């Protein structure tokens, strides 16, 4: 076998590692559930519901990560969109208006990040840091003002009950993923976003307006936030100050699990959100089921961190080839 063929095979294998890891984690999950004698159907449903919001928001966020930046306000934006959705429903009793409000708030919050970044000529992630504080504070104010002693605000569960089934959620996930995949792979915008992420100076000198694609990326992320907020309410029709609080960091870990390069650019992969999101939740659930002690949470976090570093190291081997200096 030639060296070139060996290199190609090695690179192919490394690029398949995230899928292989997902399959291994799934097998491990089945084993852990079975060993502990739990009901598999119930646990699969839990995994799906837990992963769903993460995967949806992460899929939208891939566009931002592709630009070589990141959004730390994703969790706060999801919380704020859900909060405003609940408030809208409670004031209008209209499901449609609630959905419109959720998406409008999700997209606006995300869009605001990119517009502020364009106006002030600062990296988008800087504005997301500020936005995270603002949106968290606003949500907390609304929730504590209207939630009172209950510590949360809610809508009647019957309102979203028709949507709280695996079939509907799966269709929604597939549809959103398909749209994002299409934009990412088959449109000029998707290709240009990758190029901006790879080298913004070169992109500018190739006639690509980085600010335009930054705004578009945040719009896509905003749709993901809106959808994530809606699905959050479908699963639990109440919102507290901790709803979706960890989603921003979880997305970062999840997409890396899925094979997304941290620096974004040409090697970005839209499916990283799907694979990584499910892998991350499976890993967490395996550890939580498997480790039966008071320190379970801490141990889970440590193992996740080690796993994260291992994935970054292995996936980076694919492009960290020896440099031919000429």
Contact residues toward another protein (CB under 8 A) are 2-7, 185-188, 190-192, 194-195, 198-199, 201-209, 263, 265-267, 319, 321-326
Least CB distance from residue 140 to another protein, whole Å?
37
DSSP state string for 227-292: HHHHHHHHH-SEE-TTTTTTHHHHHHHHHHHTT--TT-GGG--THHHHHHHHHHHHHHHHHHHH--
What CA–CA distance (Å, rounded) separates 163 from 172? 10
Cβ proximity to another protein, 183 vs 303, nearer residue: 183
Closest approach of Cβ 114 to another protein, in Å?
A: 18
End-to-end CA distance of the chain: 27
* Contact yes or no for 20/321 (Cβ under 8 A): no
Using CA atoms, how far residue 301 sits from 215, 244, 311, in Å, is 34, 17, 15
For another protein, give the closer residue by CB, 39 or 326. 326
Measured from the CB of residue 304, what is the shortest distance to another protein in angstroms? 27
Tell me how far, at minimum, the Cβ of 264 lies from another protein, in Å: 10
Of residues 266 and 306, the one with the C-beta less far from another protein: 266
Question: In terms of CB distance, is 37 or 207 closer to another protein?
Answer: 207
Specify the residue, 204 or 298, whose C-beta has the smaller distance to another protein.
Answer: 204
Give min distance, CB of 176 to another protein, in A: 19
Do 19 and 275 touch, CB atoms closer than 8 A?
yes
Is residue 78 within 8 A of residue 247, CB to CB? The reply is: yes
């Amino acid at each position: 076998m030639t060296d070139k063929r060996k290199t190609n095979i090695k690179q192919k294998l490394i690029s398949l590692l995230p899928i292989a890891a997902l399959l291994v984690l799934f097998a491990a999950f089945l084993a852990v559930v079975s060993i502990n004698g739990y009901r598999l159907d119930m646990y699969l449903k839990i995994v799906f519901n837990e992963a769903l919001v993460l995967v949806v928001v992460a899929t939208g966020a891939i566009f931002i990560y592709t630009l070589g930046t990141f959004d730390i306000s994703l969790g706060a934006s999801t919380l704020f969109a859900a909060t405003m959705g609940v408030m809208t429903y409670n004031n209008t009793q209209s499901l449609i208006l609630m959905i419109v409000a959720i998406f409008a708030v999700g997209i606006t919050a995300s869009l605001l990040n990119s517009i502020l970044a364009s106006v002030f000529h600062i990296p988008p992630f800087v504005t997301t840091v500020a936005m995270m504080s603002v949106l968290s504070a606003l949500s907390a104010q609304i929730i504590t003002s209207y939630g009172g002693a209950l510590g949360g605000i809610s809508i009647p569960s019957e309102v979203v009950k028709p949507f709280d089934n695996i079939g509907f959620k799966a269709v929604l996930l597939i549809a959103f993923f398909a749209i994002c995949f299409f934009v990412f792979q088959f449109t000029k915008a998707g290709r240009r976003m990758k190029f901006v992420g790879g080298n913004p100076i070169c992109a500018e000198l190739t006639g690509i307006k980085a600010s335009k694609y930054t705004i578009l990326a945040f719009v896509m992320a905003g749709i993901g936030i809106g959808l994530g907020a809606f699905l959050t309410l479908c699963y639990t029709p109440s919102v507290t100050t901790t709803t979706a609080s960890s989603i921003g960091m979880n997305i970062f870990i999840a997409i890396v699990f899925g094979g997304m390069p941290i620096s974004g650019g040409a090697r970005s992969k839209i499916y990283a959100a799907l694979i990584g999101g499910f892998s991350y939740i499976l890993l967490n659930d395996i550890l939580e089921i498997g480790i039966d002690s008071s320190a379970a949470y801490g141990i889970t976090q440590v193992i996740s961190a080690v796993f994260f570093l291992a994935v970054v190291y292995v996936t980076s081997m694919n492009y960290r080839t020896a440099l031919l200096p000429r």
